[in-house]
Structure 1
Amino acid sequence: MMDDIDEARDWQGNEINCASCAHHLSMSEAGRCRLKRACVHDRYARRIDRFFDWNPALANSYLGHSHFEVRAIAAKHASVFLLPPLLDDPEETVRWNAAKRLPKRLILRMRTDPHREVRIRIVTLLDDAELVPMMADADYYVRLVVARRVAPSMLPNMIGDEEAEVRRVVAGRIPADWLVRMANDPDAAVRLEVARRLPPPVLHRLRHDMDWRVRYEVASRIAVEQISELAADGDDLVREMALGRLSSKQEVLRERPI
């Protein structure tokens, strides 16, 4: 933990001298700051954070500090009316801390922020319609977060995403009537997700899939009347699943009273 570090240095590596601090006389004796514990000049974020927790009224005056950690933490406590300029701060942490406190109309432009971490976090603050432009973000992980967040009814727009992991998330959430359109996806993991969700009457579309995992899923859920081909499958596990289901059906027929 940062409080266990027995040093007090500023962000430039210089030893902190309380006597030269403008807050020392007015705050130290009142217990509103403490060396190695709560200090705005310390290079450790936890100590800076604690300083502003104890003295939130001072945050406004530190939004232009040279050290980005101070600006970022001050942004969590400062007046929201002073935060819009921080959306153009050179440090992504500062931009994000400002953005999460500002109204949506001011942060929509952050959808194209140069730093992926900011864009990823912005996704969590926006509604479905506002996320449409981010479905085509250059970073696959941004698109992945969008695919996890938007309403399923909007996911058909992402069926053709170039990243398989994104399409797999889409396949897991998209309305069922769109699943058939993803049955021929080039990635086996995506097709497996499709197979897990397709209703049994439609599973026959995947009974010849190249991946044994997909055929196994099909064999485990397809209507028994359509399972004969899979009972002769070249993969042992697929074949055993199909034969086992056929055997179970025959047992039921034998036990059924005439």
Structure 2
Amino acid sequence: MSDDIDETLDWQGHQVDCEACPHLTLSGAGGCRIGHACVHDRYARRIDRFFNWNPGLADGYVGHPHFEVRAIAAKSANLFLLPPLLGDADETVRWNAVRRLPRRYALQLREDPHREVRMRVATLIDGDDLLPMASDADYYVRLVVARRLAPPLLGRLIDDGEPEVRRVVARRIPEDWLLGMINDHDAAVRLEVAQRLSPELLALMRGDLDWRVRYEVASRAAVGELMSLAEDQDGLVREVARSRVAVRLERGTGASL
């Protein structure tokens, strides 16, 4: 089978010349196939297939001028050849190298210029090694960090400028830190906080501007704190608050309102 693309051009746009290839003998032995598995083809799928068939040849291509070849060769090459690739000009090469190396090498790429590399590096390290990345300029890198840092280390992200990061923080920080987030300016963050607060503390949010937060309060807070919500401007909040107050009164008096 060949790929859907009929052309067989190299990375410089020239026609692939099998006769000039140092691996010509591989063709007869089924080690490569024009338009399907070829290290000189400019299409990554064909290069990848070539190294899948001939992983032992990858070492000779980690310095190839075409970044696709270097990046794909890095997936099979000898580990001792990979550290220099951490300084490669292409982010795909850097990532394919670092993900195979011992985790300590990932520390070198915590400030990589490309966000995709930093995002992926954040998945390789943890603990104190990951903590410096909580200040990354890219919000998605910080989002990955917020998902992976141990909860006691999330304090510096409580005031992060990105609401989605703060939402993750609100889901994961120790419970006794939640009160520090009840006045967050984003309603979705406050809702995450409300969903984790104990019924005793939840009443502190009964005056929240967002009806979803007040609904959470009306659903779980101590009934004695719900009188103001029984007259709430939102119908769903009023309904659940009045229902819970009515149940409490029935239990207390034995009579239905």
TM-score, L = length of structure 1: 0.94
Q: Secondary structure at the match of 1:228?
A: coil
* Residue 174 (structure 1) aligned with residue 173 (structure 2): yes
Over residues 179-232 of structure 1, what are the superposed CA-to-partner deviations in whole Å (9 max), with x where a residue is unaligned?
A: 111111111111110000001010011000111111111111111121111101
Equivalent position of 2:51 in the other structure:
52
How many equivalent residue pairs? 255
| Whole-Å separation in 1 of the counterparts to 2:105 and 2:173 | 31
8 Å Cα contact 2:106/2:125 also seen in 1: no
Query: Which structure 1 segments of 5+ residues have no match?
Result: none
Equivalent position of 2:138 in the other structure:
139
8 Å Cα contact 1:220/1:242 also seen in 2: yes
| Whole-Å separation in 2 of the counterparts to 1:156 and 1:174 | 8
Residue 6 of structure 1 and its aligned partner are, at CA, apart by 2.1
8 Å Cα contact 1:49/1:73 also seen in 2: yes
Residue 4 of structure 1 and its aligned partner are, at CA, apart by 2.1
Structure 1 176/83 Cα, relative in aligned 2: closer, same or farther at 3 Å? same
| Whole-Å separation in 2 of the counterparts to 1:105 and 1:239 | 56
| Whole-Å separation in 1 of the counterparts to 2:107 and 2:147 | 19
Structure 1 172/231 Cα, relative in aligned 2: closer, same or farther at 3 Å? same
Equivalent position of 2:216 in the other structure:
217
Aligned-residue sequence identity (percent) comes to 63
Residue 53 of structure 1 and its aligned partner are, at CA, apart by 0.8
8 Å Cα contact 1:2/1:44 also seen in 2: no
Over residues 91-123 of structure 1, what are the superposed CA-to-partner deviations in whole Å (9 max), with x where a residue is unaligned?
A: 000000011111222221200000000000001
Residue 34 of structure 1 and its aligned partner are, at CA, apart by 0.7
Equivalent position of 2:9 in the other structure:
9
Equivalent position of 1:79 in the other structure:
78
8 Å Cα contact 2:106/2:124 also seen in 1: no
Structure 1 segments, 4+ long, off by >4 Å, are 251-256
Q: Please, what is the CA RMSD of the aligned residues? A: 1.7
Aligned positions of 1:156-167 closer than 5 A: 156-167=155-166
Does 174-183 or 101-110 show the bigger shift? 101-110
Over residues 59-88 of structure 1, what are the superposed CA-to-partner deviations in whole Å (9 max), with x where a residue is unaligned?
A: 011011111110000000001101111111
* Residue 41 (structure 1) aligned with residue 40 (structure 2): yes
